[in-house]
Amino acid sequence: MSKSDNMLAILWMLNSGTKVTAKQISEKLEINIRTVYRYIDALCASGVPIISDTGHNGGYSLLNNFFSAPLFFDVEEQKALLHAAVFAKEAGYPFSEVLNRATEKLKMYSNRKQESILNRHLAGFEVINRDIAPSVKTILEELEAAVANEYSVEIEYRTSHEEQPRSRVIDPYGMLYWNNKWYTVGFCHLRNEIRSFRAERILQIKRTHMMFKRPEAFSARKFFLQNLLPDPASKDEVISLIISGRSEALDDLCIHWFLGHHLKERTSNQAVFLLDERAIHAYVPYFLLSYGKAIQVIEPQSLKKKLVSIASELMEYYQF
C-alpha cells in the first residue's frame, strides 16, 4: 500500500477504541516497525491527537471522538483559520456563534504542543473594526439564506436621500463586505434592474414564496466595483491629476478606495492619477481637503479653483 493508505489504515486501527502497539501495526500492515514510528510522528505533526502510553499495557490510542472532526490541519493551517476567524468576527460576520463553535473544535482537536503554539499566535493578533448592530446581523443572516437558497425577499429599504423607507422585492444574487460595510447585490423588482443595497439601510426583511435563478457566473464583487469605479467611456475624456506632497500622505492617496484605482505613476514626492474631468471636480476635492497642507495639487488648475471655492464656502458657513 502507499504511504497515505498505510497512514489511513493506522488511523482506523487507532480508532478501534483499544490501545494498539507499534508491533501490532507493523504486523497488520506488513511494514517495518521503524516505518510505523515515522507514520505516527507524521500523524501527530498534522494535528491528529494520538495518545502514547508506555509500559506493559502501553500502546497508541486516539483522543475520544476524534473522528467527529472530518479534516486534519497542520499548525500553520490552524493558525491561518483562527486568524481569519478574528477578521470575520470584527467584520460583523453574522454567524459568530457558529464560528466560535468551529474555532473551539479546532483547538480541541489539537495536541498540547499545537495548542500552546496557537495560543501564542492568537495572543498578539488583534483586529479593530467598527461595531455592527445586532439588527444588521439578523438582516445578514436572512440575506445569506436567501442567496444560498435562491428565494426572493421583501425588504423595507431607506436610501441615503429618502427620509421614509420604501418596500421592494429583491432577488439577492450575492453579498459582499467593502469599506467596513455589508452589501447585497441583486435584481430589484421595483426598479427592474440589478442594484446594490447596503445592509444597514434594510430596516425589515421577510421571505417570500417567489424563487429565482441566479445568472450563471454572476459576480457581486465585479458588479459592485464596476458601478463604484466606472471606467470612462472614452480615453479622450481622461485628464491627469498631479499631486505632490509628503510621502506618507501620497502613500495614503495611492491606496485610497477611489483614487488608488486610477493611479498611473508614483515617484518619491509626486503621484499622477488619470480620471475623467467630471469625477475630478465632483468627488476628488472632498477627498483631498482632509489632507490640508500635507499635499499640493499641481494639475489641473480647475481643481485648485474648486478647492478654494469649497474651502471658502466652509469658512463662511462656520463663521455664523
Q: Supply the pTM of this predicted model.
A: 0.66
Nearest 5°: CA angle at 278, between 276 and 284? 85
Count of other CB atoms within 10 angstroms of residue 288: 24
CATH 3.40.140.10 fits 3-68, yes or no: no
Q: Distance between CA atoms of 120 and 263, rounded to whole angstroms?
A: 39
Q: Is the pLDDT of residue 69 over 60?
A: no
Count of other CB atoms within 10 angstroms of residue 301: 9
For the domain bounded by 136-228, which CATH number is listed? 2.30.30
User: Which residue did the predictor score with more confidence, 154 or 73?
Assistant: 154
Span 187-200, average pLDDT: 95
* Positive or negative torsion for Cα 128, 129, 130, 132: negative
Q: Contact, 294 vs 247, CB < 8 A?
A: no
C-alpha cell at 75: 499548525
Spacing of C-alpha 6 from chain mean position: 38
Percentages helix, strand, coil for the chain (3-state, rounded to 5) are: 50, 25, 30
Look at phi and psi of residue 63 and say left if phi exceeds 0, alpha if psi is from -120 to 50, else beta.
Answer: beta
Radius of gyration of the chain measured on its C-alpha atoms: 29
User: Which residue did the predictor score with more confidence, 28 or 236?
Assistant: 28
Q: Is the pLDDT of residue 71 over 60?
A: no
Q: Distance between CA atoms of 248 and 28, rounded to whole angstroms?
A: 66
For cell 502613500, the residue is: 251
Q: How confident is the model at residue 179 (pLDDT cuts 50, 70, 90)?
A: confident
Q: Is the pLDDT of residue 209 over 90?
A: yes
Hey, which residues does 196 pair with through a beta bridge? 185
Q: Distance between CA atoms of 99 and 149, rounded to whole angstroms?
A: 21
In 6-58, where do the E strands start and end? 50-53
Span 173-178, average pLDDT: 93
Q: Which tens digit of pLDDT belongs to each residue from 31-60? A: 998 999 998 888 888 777 888 888 777 888
pLDDT value of residue 135: 87
Q: Is the pLDDT of residue 91 over 80?
A: yes
Q: Which tens digit of pLDDT belongs to each residue from 104-159? A: 877 776 777 778 888 888 888 888 877 788 888 899 999 999 999 999 999 999 98
> Matching CATH topology for 136-228 and 235-318?
no
The closest of 116, 109, 120 to 51, measured between CA atoms, is 109
* Positive or negative torsion for Cα 27, 29, 35, 37: negative
Burial code of 120-131, b = ≥16 C-beta within 10 A, e = fewer?
Answer: eebeeeeeeeee
Q: Distance between CA atoms of 211 and 118, rounded to whole angstroms?
A: 44
pLDDT value of residue 97: 85
- What are the sequence ranges of the domains in the chain? 3-68, 75-123, 136-228, 235-318
For the domain bounded by 235-318, which CATH number is listed? 3.30.70.240
Average pLDDT in the chain:
87
Q: How confident is the model at residue 7 (pLDDT cuts 50, 70, 90)?
A: confident
What is the percentage of the chain residues whose pLDDT exceeds 90?
A: 43
Which amino acid does the sequence have at 38? R
Q: Is the pLDDT of residue 295 over 80?
A: yes
pLDDT value of residue 155: 96
Burial code of 184-207, b = ≥16 C-beta within 10 A, e = fewer?
Answer: bbbbbbeeeebbbbbbbbbeebee
